[in-house]
Amino acid sequence: MSVERACRLASRDTLPPEAMSEIFEDIKDMGILIGKGGVYGQIFRIQPPMCITMEDADFFLAIFDKAIHNYMERR
């Protein structure tokens, strides 16, 4: 599964690479390892194990949401 972050939905402009790196590092610092993809590193690659539970998914989404909010607060 992949997630591409856009800074404006209407124009579909992607976040700058440095913003994506900040979010990526924040997620990593909170204990989740994900990958990067795309020509400009604008895509988060999420590869959960085959035995993922709802609790695991909820934990990931909470961390991902927190990292996005942290970035928005720093802007």
Q: Where are the domains of the chain?
A: 17-74
pLDDT value, residue 66: 96
Residue 2 makes CB contacts below 8 A (sequence gap 6+) with: 37, 43, 44, 45, 46
End-to-end Cα spacing for the chain: 27
Q: What is the pTM of this model?
A: 0.79
Confidence of residue 29 (pLDDT cuts 50, 70, 90): very high
Which pLDDT tens digit goes with each residue over 33-72?
999 888 878 888 888 888 999 999 999 999 999 999 999 9
